Amino acid sequence: MDHEERIALAQTVCDRFVGQYKDRVIIGGVFGSAAKGSDTEWSDLEMLFIVKDECKARSQQFLYRGIAVNYSVVKNSKLEKILKHPCLEGDTGWPFYMGVLSVLEVLYGDRSRVRAWLKMGEGVPYAKFKKALEKELPGLVNESYGRILSCKARNNMDDWYCAVLEVLFEMRDALCLLNKSWVTHDYYQGLIDTFKFSKLPQRYKELVPLLWHVQDIDTAIVLVMELTENFQQLLKEQGIKCTEFEKDFEVPV
């Protein structure tokens, strides 16, 4: 399937979706490599539908001529809640939706709505990003870094590189919140996207490629230790704190 066929398929899916749910659809569009025009014959097709709250449509996945097709359905109120209140929430938080909206190729609906949502997300006070990052930090980077050290202690040479990738991707997410910004690619290119951010750990641009291509656990530990220490120093400089048991931990009543 070439680019033109993939876009034609996206339009067909969009037309059928709109035909079924009619005036309950606000925006339908395509994102990912198909929207950027960088898709290959093996690329998947990623679509997004923003619908009114009363719409009963659900996200779907299917195959077409061996190509994975995925369309996500998000209610308008949920989208706007996320845009106004930054969070990560796995792969569906503020950075994800801002990244998708920034590249969305609209197939149905008023493009001005997309611009309005982007403006909404950009207009959130920075204090909310700081608060969201502090909430997420205990589960980001530190655990994955510790997993690398655990692999070394257990002589587990099978899993350590997966933990290296977790460190990089979790740090990417944290940097999105810290910089009130987003990336528009997955995997390694998504890490390269973060190089444009103004707030980065020292030697981040040098250490990320080295860690992506690292081939032994001992070198990985040295590099991750430096990157993590630099990351923690950046957070300290920016006034971001991580919850600690003796100082901040409270059991919810």
CA distances from 116 to 80, 83, 85, 136 (A): 10, 11, 16, 27
CATH architecture type of domain 128-248: Up-down Bundle (1.20)
**What is the model's pLDDT at position 246?**
62
Q: What is the mean pLDDT of residues 128-142?
A: 93
Beta carbons within 8 Å of 181's beta carbon, 6+ residues apart = 95, 196, 197
Q: What is the dihedral of CA 208, 213, 219, 221, to 10 degrees?
A: 50
User: Stretch 164-179: mean pLDDT, rounded?
Assistant: 97
pLDDT of residue 252: 65
Q: What is the pTM of this model?
A: 0.92
Report the alpha-carbon angle 68-192-187, nearest 5. Answer: 30
Amino acid at 245: F
Mean pLDDT of 234-240: 96
Domain boundaries, the chain: 3-124, 128-248
Residues of the chain with pLDDT > 70: what percent?
A: 96
Helix (H/G/I), strand (E/B), else coil: 140: coil
**Highest CATH level, class, for 3-124:** alpha beta
Confidence of residue 53 (pLDDT cuts 50, 70, 90): very high
Torsion, CA 25, CA 84, CA 176, CA 74, rounded to 10: -20
pLDDT at 68 over 80: yes
Confidence label for 243 from pLDDT (cuts 50, 70 and 90): confident
Q: What one-letter code names the amino acid at 237?
A: E
